[in-house]
Structure 1
Amino acid sequence: MTPLVTAAVLLAAVTHASWNAIAHRITDKLVGFTLIGGGGALIGAVLACFAEFPAAQAWPYLLASAFVHVVYFVLLMKSFRLGDFGQAYPIARGSAPLVVAVLAAFVAHEVPDGWAAAGIALSCAGLTGVALWGLRGSPPNWAAIGAALATGLSIATYTVLDGLGVRASGSSLGYIAWLMVAEGIAVPVYAVRRWRRETVAMLRPFAGVGLLGAALSVAAYALVLWAQTKAELAPIAALRESSIIVGAAIGAVFFKERFGAPRMMAAGLLVIGIGLMLHAG
């Protein structure tokens, strides 16, 4: 985890939280994810014209990841319908890093050393603190929590698939381009079949903000995929989920959700965890 890799992943965290906030802001979740997914596919198609074609051995990972990404989009839409942004987003993102650490150890044979393991553990503790703070003051919405946890499992799955795939691809830009195309067309195809002649009317009011979300989504994941070619999967996954802190701040500023002292302490744990992961690098 060099300073350059760390900076790239932290920038990815900010852009990721931003596009998720845009998706949450659009009232009709199918409209939001149609624009973000479709816009991402268009951006990917343009990038594919200038990038090296991914190596053959990367395609099984890429196609499997595209399928899991579609499942992730469906689960994320459901999470945002059922729960508040300040609850659904932290639980979905915060539950993923530990699963990634376990999967990476078994699948990629990446077992973190003492410093990295301590950093991952502290970061996950901070992320969990932010997530639990989202439940404060109201009875648990188990349907929303279940959807968010399932979303986290899908995140962990595609993270490991893409980590292995991008390393085998020979071109991180080519991999992200074709991944965006493969994963981005499913939701728009479903939406067009559902809306038919009303499609343009449904999308037009949110086209600008939705396409901005698409650009942020592609940028966020492109940075993460590049980082996965430079460092181990588990520390990157933990560091990327610092987007939870950004998401909590966005929730406080734009959605009028409380941030509070417990989230500040959780953010402090996350910062210490990042420092330990840097020390390990």
Structure 2
Amino acid sequence: MFGIAIVLVLGSGFLHSIWNLYTKKSLNKNVFLWFCQLVAIILYLPWTIFEWDSSQLAGTGLLVVAASMILHGLYVILLAATYTVGDLSQVYPIMRGTSPLLVPLLGVTLLGEQLTAGGWCGVISIVLGIALVSNIKFKRNEPSSSKAPLLALAVGTCIAGYIVVDKVALNYVSAVVLNEATNIGNLLALSWATFTSGGIRNELKANWKIMLLGGIIAPGGYLLFLFALSFAPVAQLAPMREIGTVFGTVMGIFILREKQGTRRILTSFLITVGVIILGIWG
């Protein structure tokens, strides 16, 4: 079963990097993501209805699913803002590296847990990789380059939050029902920015086919991860999913022709290695 979980997680990371590439290439990130959520909601609705009877959406279950919807909604708003100002090969490693870094650090600082020497090596590797890929510079009379990395850190924080909450939510609803709920939360969160943007017509004209595809692979990738969680603990699987960090960085360099290619690829490997070390030996 653990082997199946690994395959599902690696597939999830690859699909995640693909739809993030499409998001970065879109004209208006809010509009693009809004239509992806709409397609996903419609596409997965029959499956959701089929599995609805197994849900326990009352009391605690309802609160946990609502919390997941809020965290996912905040995540997708920040994601749109991040890709509006930052390169894929810069912000993607930060977003994906922050999440597995925060969970063990919070455990150490707030819960009195311990990290092994290997775990601290993983932490150092992740922090160093994020610092190098951020490449923040402060120059007089020039705007700071910190906006994109800071937004990416905020996205990573949301990812850490919703992964933990979603693990709990799976005790009350199936992966498909939870995925549908979070898609609805994302749609609601993006609605104001989408309908006030004035960019709906242009986005549909330019990317309607890609938005249809995004509506399939974006939730599909996360569904693979949710299914994997039913086979193995989140502490083991979440680090493996971050192999998508390398996929996303390589796509940004070779498909989008973003600068600092060698530096960013090396730092994405540094972050990924740190995540794996932290997940296995932390």
Residues 153, 86 of structure 1: CA spacing in aligned structure 2 closer, same or farther, 3 A cutoff? Answer: same
| Mapped partners of 1:105, 1:227: distance in 2 | 26
**C-alpha deviation, 1:179, in angstroms:** 2.9
Are 2:66 and 1:63 equivalent residues in the alignment? yes
Are 2:100 and 1:97 equivalent residues in the alignment? yes
The answer as to whether partners of 2:75 and 2:158 remain within 8 angstroms in 1 is yes
The answer as to whether partners of 2:76 and 2:186 remain within 8 angstroms in 1 is no
The answer as to whether partners of 2:72 and 2:185 remain within 8 angstroms in 1 is no
The answer as to whether partners of 1:41 and 1:181 remain within 8 angstroms in 2 is yes
The corresponding residue for 1:156 is 160
| Mapped partners of 2:237, 2:103: distance in 1 | 10
The answer as to whether partners of 1:69 and 1:183 remain within 8 angstroms in 2 is yes
Are 2:20 and 1:20 equivalent residues in the alignment? yes
| Mapped partners of 1:103, 1:141: distance in 2 | 27
Summarize the alignment of residues 3-152 of structure 1 with structure 2, pairs less than 5 Å apart. Answer: 3-53=3-53, 54-56=55-57, 57-102=60-105, 118=118, 122=122, 127-128=126-127, 130-136=129-135, 141-152=145-156
| Partner AA of 2:241 in structure 1 | R
| Mapped partners of 1:135, 1:94: distance in 2 | 12
**C-alpha deviation, 1:28, in angstroms:** 1.3
TM-score by structure 2 length?
A: 0.80
Residues 86, 160 of structure 1: CA spacing in aligned structure 2 closer, same or farther, 3 A cutoff? Answer: same
| Mapped partners of 2:272, 2:5: distance in 1 | 17
The answer as to whether partners of 1:35 and 1:188 remain within 8 angstroms in 2 is no
The answer as to whether partners of 1:29 and 1:81 remain within 8 angstroms in 2 is yes
**C-alpha deviation, 1:177, in angstroms:** 3.0
| Partner AA of 1:33 in structure 2 | L
| Mapped partners of 1:118, 1:2: distance in 2 | 23
Gaps of 5+ in 2: 139-143
| Partner AA of 2:18 in structure 1 | S
The answer as to whether partners of 2:98 and 2:156 remain within 8 angstroms in 1 is yes
**C-alpha deviation, 1:90, in angstroms:** 1.3
**Is 154-163 or 221-230 further displaced after alignment?**
221-230
The corresponding residue for 2:224 is 223
Gaps of 5+ in 1: none
| Partner AA of 2:206 in structure 1 | P
| Mapped partners of 1:237, 1:21: distance in 2 | 21
The answer as to whether partners of 1:34 and 1:188 remain within 8 angstroms in 2 is yes
**C-alpha deviation, 1:79, in angstroms:** 1.0
| Mapped partners of 1:99, 1:137: distance in 2 | 21
The answer as to whether partners of 1:23 and 1:210 remain within 8 angstroms in 2 is no
**C-alpha deviation, 1:24, in angstroms:** 0.5
TM-score by structure 1 length?
A: 0.80
Task: Give the match's secondary structure for 2:50.
Answer: coil
